[in-house]
Chain A
């Protein structure tokens, strides 16, 4: 496996203020170093409400 080298010349990290109203599914707020992130979100919703007990998504249920 090949090596990929990341050089950080100044490691100091400073943030004054962070204000967030909302974060949705599989989200990341990170203040620092990160090698790798893998975020997965699967969302199934009917396009419109179906009558008589159907969920509006074919093949499921």
Chain B
């Protein structure tokens, strides 16, 4: 990573942080949050144990093409260890595999895989839509 910076943050306010997200003040070498979500919406909320297995869905194993790194990046600064100053950061919500960092990093690798399933009845259930 080389020179490190001093990070100064006046105020940081985050209301909601979801799966595998990172809030970092300061330098890091590498951050790699990984999030895998299986979201099932069902018209009738009956969920037998062990009904869903992530290995049955290609979304979690499908290979993602990686960038070809053909050069090595070297960073040089005139000022030794210059600081980072942030007055205030206000965030309401962050979702899966989000990185919020005040400082420097060599490598960030964020991965999020979400499979969303909806199950509805072909025919309305008996008694559905009838007023009592």
CB < 8 Å neighbour of A4 from B71, B78, B93: B71
The chain A residue sitting closest to B115, CB to CB, is A44
Cβ distance B63 to chain A, nearest Cβ, rounded Å: 10
Contact between chains at B74 and A33 (CB < 8 Å)? no
Complex-state Cα separation, A54 to B118, whole angstroms: 8
Q: Is the CB of B95 within 8 A of A32?
A: no
Are A51 and B120 neighbours in the complex by a CB distance under 8 Å? yes
Q: Which residues of A contact B91 (CB under 8 A)?
A: 19-20, 23, 29
Measured as residues with beta carbon below 8 angstroms from the partner, the interface class of chain A is 35 or more
| Chain B residue with the shortest CB-CB distance to A56 | B118
Nearest residue (CB) in A for B94 is A23
Can you list, as one digit per residue, whether each of B81-92 has a CB less than 8 Å from chain A (1) or not (0)?
A: 011111111111
The distance in angstroms between the C-alpha atoms of A56 and B118, with both chains bound, is: 8
Binding site for A on B (CB under 8 A): 5, 7, 27, 35, 56-59, 62, 64, 66-67, 69-79, 82-122
Q: List 30 A-B contacts (CB under 8 A).
A: A3-B74, A4-B74, A5-B73, A7-B76, A9-B78, A13-B85, A15-B87, A18-B89, A19-B89, A25-B35, A25-B96, A27-B99, A29-B91, A29-B98, A30-B108, A31-B84, A31-B86, A32-B84, A32-B103, A33-B104, A35-B73, A36-B107, A39-B108, A40-B112, A42-B62, A42-B113, A46-B117, A46-B118, A53-B119, A55-B117
